[in-house]
Chains A and B, each alone.
Chain A
């Protein structure tokens, strides 16, 4: 059990980093909001299995409800940028900057949409797993 707990502790930041990497790189290489969100849910799910659900909730620091709502909110509102600029709902709009340190930054509403997907998927997965884990 000690080994499992140790592995779990080490795995947690790695998995979170991987999920962020999958999310951020998703537009250019394999990855994206769906898989990123799923990966992000795994460490908390594992924690709930290894310890218990309340502990996992403490670790999460927020409620899965909030993540779900945040995700849907991001995804829905990213679509309105296009509307304000006179295009149909969910039309992608992009801006490109040359920044020091980061170099070429390509930012657009689909990225925000993808972040929304990420949080929604993460929230739903955690909601399911934590609710089930809390059953006696």
Chain B
């Protein structure tokens, strides 16, 4: 299972970097979105996958029933999802504002920091 996810992660990374390298602002934003999915899935995969139990202790038990999914990457991913949402929104608004002020959505034309 990890093998297949490794390929999915690789494809997501490749697609997001390709989009980030494009001069168009909108493609940059889409690329950022894909990048966060790729990173989350990478964390998840490296923390090993199991198809059995979520890391929740059932009523009456003191701990989750083995074998359960690794909770540590899940906690990291959960916050990462929300953070990357915030960052994505920030990037979007930043680009939107710079488009408003510079009149171009072509990143190659936006070179000077004060333009």
Contacts and interface: CB of A to CB of B under 8 A. Distances in A.
Interface of A: 28-30, 32, 34-35, 38, 121, 124-125, 128, 131-132
Interface string B55-72: 010000000000000000
Kindly name the residue among B56, B79, B82, B86 whose own CB sees the greatest number of chain A CB atoms within 10 A.
B82
Nearest to A129: B89
A34 B86 CA distance: 12
Contact of A30 (B54, B85, B86, B89): B54
A46 B79 CA distance: 24
B56 A29 contact: yes
Q: Is the interface of B mostly helix, strand, loop or mixed?
A: helix
Given A38-B82, A121-B82, 6 more contacts: A30-B54, A32-B78, A34-B81, A124-B86, A128-B93, A132-B93
Chain B interface bracket (under 10, 10 to 19, 20 to 34, 35 or more): 10 to 19
A47 B91 CA distance: 24
A100 B4 CA distance: 53
Interface of B: 54, 56, 78-79, 81-82, 85-86, 89, 93
Task: Label chain A's interface by main secondary structure.
Answer: helix
Contacts of B81: 34
Contacts of A32: 78
Contacts of B89: 128
B78 A34 contact: yes
A28 B79 CA distance: 18
6 tightest A-B CB contacts, nearest first? A128-B89, A34-B82, A34-B78, A121-B82, A124-B86, A29-B56
A28 B59 CA distance: 9
Contacts of A125: 85
Contacts of A28: 56
A28 B64 CA distance: 11
9 contacts: A32-B78, A34-B78, A34-B79, A34-B81, A35-B78, A38-B82, A121-B82, A128-B93, A132-B93
A28 B60 CA distance: 12
B108 to A, nearest CB: 25
